[in-house]
Amino acid sequence: MNKIKLIYEGKAKKVYETDDPSLAIFEYKDSLTAFNAQKKDTMQGKGRLTNLISATFLKLLQDKGIPTHFVKLLDDNHQLVKRLKIIPLEVVVRNTSTGSLCKRLGVEEGLDLVPPLVEFYLKNDELGDPLVTEDHIRAFGFASKPHVEKMKELCLKVNEILSKYLFERGIKLVDFKLEFGMDDEGNIFVADEISPDTCRFWDLTSKERLDKDRFRKDLGNVLEAYEEIWRRIADWDKSCSAEYRANILVYLKEGVLDTQGKAVLSSLHSLGYDEVKNVRVGKYIKITLTSPSQEDAASRVKEMCEDLLVNDLIEEYSFELEEI
Ligand code: ADP
Ligand code: UDP
C-alpha cells in the first residue's frame, strides 16, 4: 500500500490517499500542540510512540468487537486506516474530574465520576471546539439521533475495555477523546487516534501525569512519559505471551484445475490403485509464534494467511492452533 497524495495535514498527523479509495495512510508527526495550537513544539520520536500506542489500543478494541477504522500498522510512524466521513464532534469520556471540566464548573479536581460523563464538543478549531448539548446536535444536524446514541454506547464500551487494560498495567484512565466516522453505507467506526495526546493517564499509585498534560502544564519529561506508557504496554504483553503452533492447510478451491493432483492420480492408477477417484494436492505450513492470547494468535495467523501465505483467487485455507 503506497501513499499517493497528501489529502490533509493536521496538527498531529498527515493523511494520505492510497491506491485503494476506501483506505488512507496516517503519518503520525513529531509535533505537539495544546490550547488550540497556541502552544507548539516538536519532539523527535513522539510520532512513533503515538502511532504504536494508538495502533495497540485500536487493535485491542477491534478484537473486542468495537468497530474501528484501524486496518494495520505499516511501520513506526504509519498506519493504514479506513477512509471515513468524520462526524464533526469530539466525544469526551471522563472517569475523574480534571481539565476543562473543573475550569468550566469550578469543581474540585480528582473526583470519581460514576457513572462516567460523556460530553460532546463541536469539532471546530475557529470556535475553540465548544461544548454542545444533544439538542444542539439535533437542531443543527451535526449528527443523527441514532448516531448520537451509538456513539455514547461505543464510548462507554471503549471506556470499560481501555480502563481495565490500563489498570492491569498500573495506569488510571482519567479521561479521553474519541472521534467517529462513517463509511458509504452509514456504518459508524471509532476513528482518529487514542494516545497520550488524546487521553489522560495517571500512574495508579503516584498519580504522576503520563500524558499531554506534561506539555500543557510545562511539567517536563513529556517524551519520557509517553515512553513509559509504551513500555508498560510492551513489557506486560511480553510477560503474558505464550507460544503457539499454527498448523495451516492451504488447498486449491473446488473447480480450480489441480495439475499436481491429476499427475498423482494418474501415477496411482498406473500402480494399480484403481479405487482412487480424485486427488487434490495442497500445502501444509507449520508456524510457531508468541502471542498474548489464543484469540490474538488466531487473528495474527489469519492476517499472515491473507497477506502472504494464501492466494485467495485460487486457494482456500484452514488452520488449527495449539499452545506449546
Ligand atoms: P487536527 O485536524 O485536529 O489537526 P490531526 O492532525 O490528528 O488533527 O489530523 C487528522 C485528521 O484526520 C483529523 O481532522 C481527523 O478528524 C481526521 N480523521 C481521523 N480518522 C479519519 C478517517 N478514518 N478517515 C478520514 N479522516 C480521518
Ligand atoms: N482532548 C483532545 N482533543 C481536544 C480536546 C480534548 O484529545 O481537542 C482530550 C484531552 O486530552 C483529555 C480529554 O479530551 O484527555 C478532556 O479534555 P478537556 O476537555 O479537559 O480539555 P483540556 O483540558 O485539554 O482543554
Structure confidence by residue, pLDDT tens digits, 232-273:
998 777 776 789 999 999 999 999 999 999 999 999 999 999
pLDDT band at 296 (very low <50, low <70, confident <90, very high): confident
Percent of the chain predicted with pLDDT > 70: 100
Q: Is the CB of 93 under 6 A from ligand 2?
A: no
- The CA 192 to ligand 1 mean position distance, Å, reads 5
Beta-bridge partners for 96: 112
State how far the Cα of 31 lies from the Cα of 29, in Å rounded to an integer. Answer: 5
- Which one-letter DSSP state was computed for residue 183? -
Q: Is the CB of 46 under 6 A from ligand 2?
A: no
pLDDT band at 6 (very low <50, low <70, confident <90, very high): very high
Domain ranges of the chain: 3-239, 241-323
CA dihedral (179, 94, 295, 49) positive or negative? positive
Residue whose grid cell is 488447498: 251
Domain 3-239 has CATH 3.20.20.70: no
Please work out, in degrees rounded to the nearest 5, the angle formed at the alpha carbon of residue 42 by the alpha carbons of 170 and 237.
25
The CATH architecture annotation of domain 241-323 reads: 2-Layer Sandwich (3.30)
pLDDT on residue 41: 96
**Of 234, 154, 211, 281, which is closest to residue 32 (Cα–Cα)?**
211
Beta-bridge partners for 13: 28
pTM flag (> 0.85): no
- Ligand 2 atom closest to the Cα of residue 98 is 20
Q: Which of 67-71, 186-190, 296-300 bottoms out in mean pLDDT, i.e. has the lowest?
A: 296-300
- The CA 309 to ligand 2 mean position distance, Å, reads 43
Q: Is the CB of 102 under 6 A from ligand 2?
A: no
User: Fold identical between 3-239 and 241-323?
Assistant: no
Summarize the confidence of residues 126-130 as an average pLDDT. 95
- The CA 133 to ligand 2 mean position distance, Å, reads 17
Q: Which of 143-157, 283-297, 300-314 bottoms out in mean pLDDT, i.e. has the lowest?
A: 283-297
Side by side, the strands of the sheet bearing 23-28 are: 5-9, 13-17, 23-28, 78-82, 70-75
What is the SS3 assignment for 8-28?
Answer: EECCCEEEEECCCCCEEEEEE
Structure confidence by residue, pLDDT tens digits, 152-205:
999 999 999 999 999 999 999 999 999 999 999 999 999 999 999 999 999 999
- In the chain, beta strands by DSSP E: 5-9, 13-17, 23-28, 31-34, 39-42, 70-75, 78-82, 85-86, 89-96, 112-122, 131-132, 171-182, 188-191, 199-203, 242-252, 283-291, 315-323
pLDDT on residue 99: 97
- Ligand 2 atom closest to the Cα of residue 119 is 19
Q: CB–CB of 23/79 below 8 Å?
A: no
Instruction: Spell out which residues line ligand 1, taking CB within 6 angstroms.
Output: 8, 10-13, 15, 24, 69, 81-84, 86, 179, 181, 191-192
pLDDT on residue 237: 73
